[in-house]
Amino acid sequence: MSMKVEFFYDYVSVYSYLANSQLGNLTGAEIVYRPMFLGAVMEATGNRPPGTVKAKGRYLQADIRRWAERYSLTFKMNPLFPQNTLKASRLALVAQKRGAFEAVHQALFDAMWVYEKDLNDKELLAEIAAKAALSLEDIEDPEIKDELKANTNEACERGAFGAPTFFVGDQMFFGNDRFDFIKDAIRNA
């Protein structure tokens, strides 16, 4: 039986985009994708987006580009950042339930960080949904809304303060640069 690695993320988080590209390198692990609403996590924990600190914001631009280059990823800083990704995260949950997650998940990250799109745009989301044979109307299902809230609340209760956050058992890891520690946790489980 493989170890579970829970990946709490939001499509608005560039570091989640970066981390997502490396999940395939976690051998011996089952990845459990747990979309959450980062804005609510930040509010609940009193955290601030790093870009709101001027010096940190300047540094992050270089840091993100370094990581994207290291991971051989296409990356464009979305001029519409920050944006509301609530509907996008709900669409990911619908896709999980309908067996279409792979078709939707990467398309959402790419729309945000490769094609500089607005993930709150219903036409864009409807197009992504349709390509996966899904209906965008399903994001309004109370069960889907409740699941996103539950993921967000659980992340906070377990200690998350931002994205990406990973859990291997009870061990928490924050950031796209913690894969060595995650691999150790998997090996030592």
Rounded-to-integer distance, Cα 152 and Cα 162, Å: 11
Domain architecture of the chain: domains with CATH: 3-187 (3.40.30.10)
Kindly name the residue from 2, 13, 16, 72 that is annotated as catalytic. 13
Clarify whether 13 is annotated catalytic.
yes
Rounded-to-integer distance, Cα 128 and Cα 114, Å: 15
* pLDDT value for 27: 87
Rounded-to-integer distance, Cα 122 and Cα 98, Å: 20
* pLDDT value for 1: 56
* pLDDT value for 67: 98
Rounded-to-integer distance, Cα 125 and Cα 107, Å: 10
Query: Model-level pTM greater than 0.75?
Result: yes
* pLDDT value for 167: 98
For residue 184, which phi and psi values (nearest 5 degrees)?
-60, -45
Spell out the alpha helix ranges (H) of 25-178: 38-45, 54-70, 86-97, 101-113, 122-131, 142-157
* pLDDT value for 178: 96
**Average pLDDT per consecutive 10 residues, the chain (189 residues; last block may be shorter):** 91 98 93 97 90 87 96 95 96 98 98 98 98 97 98 98 98 97 94
